[in-house]
Structures are given as C-alpha cells and as structure tokens.
Amino acid sequence: MIQLSERHEMRQQARHWRARGERIGLVPTMGNLHQGHLKLVEELSNHVDRLVVSVFVNPLQFGPSEDYESYPRTLADDLRALAGYPVDAVFAPSAEQMYPRGAPATTIDLPALTNTLCGADRPGHFAGVALVVAKLFNIVEPDAAAFGNKDYQQLQVIRRLVQDLDYPVEILGVATVREADGLALSSRNNYLDAEQRRVAAELYATLQEMVAELRAGRRDYQQLEAAGATRLRQAGFSRVDYLAIRRSDDLAAPSPADTELVCLGAAQVGAARLIDNIAVRLID
C-alpha cells in the first residue's frame, strides 16, 4: 500500500495501472475510518483489480458554524486500519493540493436533489460534495466507486452527477453498518457521551417504526413524519432537522401509489448531528 499526497502522483499511478489493463476502484472518505468505511473497501475490492482510498476532509462541504476545524483527523490510525485490507494506494492530499487557487470558482448544482432534506439545513453542503467527488474522479479516473447507503441523499446526488456528466464510473451503494442496537456507524458518534449514545439509537428505532406503519398500509405520510419527530424529541434529541418519507429514486414527495420509498431522518443530540435512513418496497 503506497501513500500519495499530490494530484499528479495519484494520476500518474492510476494511469500506470490502467495501461496494464487493470480495473481501478475508489473509496472516497474524510478519514477517521470505522467499520463502515472498511465495509466499503471490502465490497469494492470484489469488483476491481486496484483499489484507492482517498482521505480528505473537504472544507467545501462544511458550513461556517460546522465542525470542519474539530473534525477528527487520524491519518496514522487510518493507515494502520487499511493495512489489513486489499488497498493499493491511499490518496491523502492537503486542502492546498486539492484547491491550489483557493475557493473554486466552479460549482456543481443539482437543485432538485440538494435543496431538500440535509441540503435545506446545510446550504452549499452538496455542492461541496459534488465538486470534490468530481475532482477525485478526474484525478483517479476510477472504473467504480463505493459510497455508503447511510448517506442516502449524498449517494443519489453522486449517481445523478455521474449520469449527467457522463462519468464512466460504476457507483456501488453499500449497506449501512450498525451497532448492536441499530445505531449507524459514524465518525460523529465519537462526540456522544453515554447518555447521548443511548438516545442516538432512537433514530433508527423511529425509522423502523415508520417502515412498519407503511408496511401495515398507512399512507398518511405527513402524520407519520410528525409522529416520528415527536418521538425523537421525547427521546431526548435537542433538534430534529427532518423526518421524511420520500420516493427512493429522486427524493420527491411520494403519492399513495408509490411503492419504492425511503424513510430518512436527521437529528441532533449533544454535539452530533446524526443521519439515517431505511429503504422500503411496498407490495400491494
């Protein structure tokens, strides 16, 4: 496993592999790796000959009052964690390397997917995600890339980005890795104390309850969302950004006839803003 920090080094290495006819995979991360990230590596390794993991805390996807400065940067630990996996290169550039001219003048806007849910509460977040992913695709030129289903809205943004800009990249969505009580693994879980950690598990439990109600035939979506939000507040969440039922492909509000849905939530407990989702297929 080699470590690279400059764009031209990463591009040169990837093109060397490609010249040999090898298929390249990319797992983009912000580091502070946990089993969820390592699951992406495991899954993607089955589809490629060479695997690259990027580690870059992207300033463009953080708002002014968010945790960019305090976001955990643990590259040495990340390298140790990856040593036991089939990773060929770790690309860990600096912000100056990724954005040598400072804040980019170019933006990538997908308003139908990004002006709702997390995008409504974090303006500019998905534009930052889309731009850094586009840059990584241009540098690494992967044949396939893996993203976690936990960040469902992000996954849909990336899929649409690939379609609209004709990137020849297969996007692999990987199932969420959870703790025993259902809490989705996240780097921000490290912010939780013992009591907050107990409260955090209620997000997944609430989504499960919403799915059960949908499977039982309920289609009063707004009432289900409101009841779920009330449950989260009563459980101890300090803020509920949203609890929503959407169509799974385009995140639009569903009609009672839609059968491919996703229940999504974002809520704050302590210093951690947690997100989660459950996809559900309804059969008449």
- The catalytic residue positions are 37
Does the annotation place 117 within a ligand binding site?
no
- Tell me the backbone φ, ψ of residue 168, rounded to 5 degrees: -80, 60
Does the annotation place 185 within a ligand binding site?
yes
Does the annotation place 188 within a ligand binding site?
yes
Does the annotation place 30 within a ligand binding site?
yes
Which tokens is 242 given? 């949203």
Does the annotation place 159 within a ligand binding site?
no
Does the annotation place 115 within a ligand binding site?
no
Please check whether residue 262 is in contact with residue 246, taking contact to mean a CB–CB distance below 8 angstroms. yes
Does the annotation place 32 within a ligand binding site?
yes
Q: 146-185 burial, b if ≥16 CB within 10 A, otherwise e?
A: bbbbbbbbbbbbbbbbbeeeebebbbbbbebbbeeebbbb
C-alpha distances out from residue 43 to 46, 133, 145, 254, 277, Å: 6, 19, 10, 31, 20
Does the annotation place 47 within a ligand binding site?
no
Please check whether residue 219 is in contact with residue 282, taking contact to mean a CB–CB distance below 8 angstroms. no
Does the annotation place 10 within a ligand binding site?
no
- Taking the CA atoms of 246, 259, 161 and 91 in sequence, report the sign of the dihedral they define: positive
Binding residue ranges? 30-37, 61, 148-151, 154, 177, 185-188
Binding residue ranges for beta-alanine? 61
Binding residue ranges for ATP? 30-37, 148-151, 177, 185-188
Binding residue ranges for (R)-pantoate? 61, 154
